[in-house]
Structure 1
Amino acid sequence: MSLPNALRSPFLRWGVLALIQLALIAVPLADRLQVQMKGQEVILNLIPVDPRDLLRGDYVILNLEIGRVPAQLLKGGVGLEPGDTVYAGLEVTDSGAARVVRVTLTREEAGPLAIAGTYRSMSGGELNIDYHIDAFYLPEGEGKEIERLPAKRIQVVVAVHPDGRALPLRLLVDGKAFKSDAAF
């Protein structure tokens, strides 16, 4: 079986290859844009640490306070295994920061505002949940400034999409924007 003449052209083959590569780059960016545009902003408390990435500069590791949740907040968790997807139903407190009020296995049961995470383990009556919001990148040299601040002064604003995906948007220091990680 021979190829049609149009597919024999090296320009067409290279063009198709280039389009495939562009699509592979665009998919993660489109996903990030969707969360940022349709997500609800929520403030989360955290404990930062300052490492560096040779290619992207400084970053703050986001150790979210909601990563450790009392086990009694889990609804219907019979047979919960490490690696299972869970949804943490959030409620905004008087201080403005969100707290977990329930943990469920389905998005619908979690309530109107919920963030998706991966159940890691249980220890000391607490569930350890990873929300896949691990780092906040900063320009070179600015990570040290955050590292020196007491953790209770720092929060992160995240966009939470209706399906539970989340994206860090900006750091807050004493309730005021420090830096933005928004790509768009």
Structure 2
Amino acid sequence: MTGKKLIIAALVLALVQIGFLSWIIAGRAAILRNGKEVLLKVEPVDPRDLLRGDYISLNNNISRIPVKLIANIPQGAFSSDDDSITVRLKKGADGYWQPTAAWLGKAPAPAAADEADIAGHVAAGWDFRSPDMTIAPDYGIDRFYLPEGEGVAIQDEIRVRPFGIKLALAADGTAQIKALMDGDKTLFEEPLY
């Protein structure tokens, strides 16, 4: 390859990489800007990541779903590797959204105007045989990173009074954390970019 072709190939590769990263960032920003907002109650867990800094681990009111909410449990009665799940949410009297139904895969019908669907994944091996069991879907919203030094103080406050996270949900159920809430007060908001 000549020097000129090598430079052109390097530029094309750089543009492809920049385009891919821009596409990921723009997709996240579109959900934050245009997604349906829901508020979930959070519970405390350890607040520090040595590589990325302070965070709040977001164990929330949809972190565990009762098996009895799942409408289409398969014959095998165990989850397979990385099953997708759709959980239908509805706003409760306290302002926090609660799970009302769930489906492995996609929901059979779109959510009503006062409902929202969140998409997640279920790891292999969850037992669906007993309606009294619960499963723990992964929605990709389990951490909220904070400015350095803020995590421990907020984690202690979560143990005392209710906190929540405001989510933005895309039409396909993809979730992005929009803000950390202390009651009605926004503590930290995610920037679009």
Per the TM superposition, whether the score is higher than 0.5 is yes
Give the number of the structure whose residues are more often helix, by fraction. 1
State how far apart, in whole Å, the 2-side matches of 1:125 and 1:14 are. Answer: 54
> In the alignment, which residue of structure 2 is the partner of 1:173?
182
**Number of equivalences:** 180
Per the alignment, residue 144 of structure 1 pairs with: 152
- What's the % identity of the aligned pairs? 31
Match of 1:90 in 2: 89
Larger fraction in strand = 1
Q: Does 1:128 align with 2:140?
A: no
Q: Which residue of 2 aligns with 1:109?
A: 109
The structure 1 residue matched to 2:121, chosen from 113, 118, 138, is 118
CA-atom RMSD in angstroms: 2.3
Separation (CA, whole Å) in 1 of partners of 2:100 and 2:92: 11
Instruction: Kindly indicate whether the alpha-carbon contact (under 8 Å) linking 2:44 and 2:158 is maintained by their aligned counterparts in 1.
Output: no
Counterpart selection for 1:64 from 52, 57, 60: 60
Shift of 1:110: 6.2
Answer yes or no: is the 8 Å Cα contact 1:104–1:110 preserved in 2: no
State the structure with bigger RCO (CA 8 A, min sep 6), 1 or 2.
Answer: 2
Match of 2:24 in 1: 28
Consecutive unaligned residues in structure 2, runs of 5 or more: none
Give deviations 1:89-132, integer Å, cap 9, x for gaps. 01001111000000013134362410001123248522222211
CA distance in 1, matches of 2:180, 2:45: 13
Inter-partner Cα distance in structure 2 for 1:119 and 1:10: 45
Matches within 5 A, 1:12-27: 12-27=8-23
Asked whether the 8 Å contact 1:50–1:146 carries over to 2, the reply is no
TM-score by length of 1: 0.86
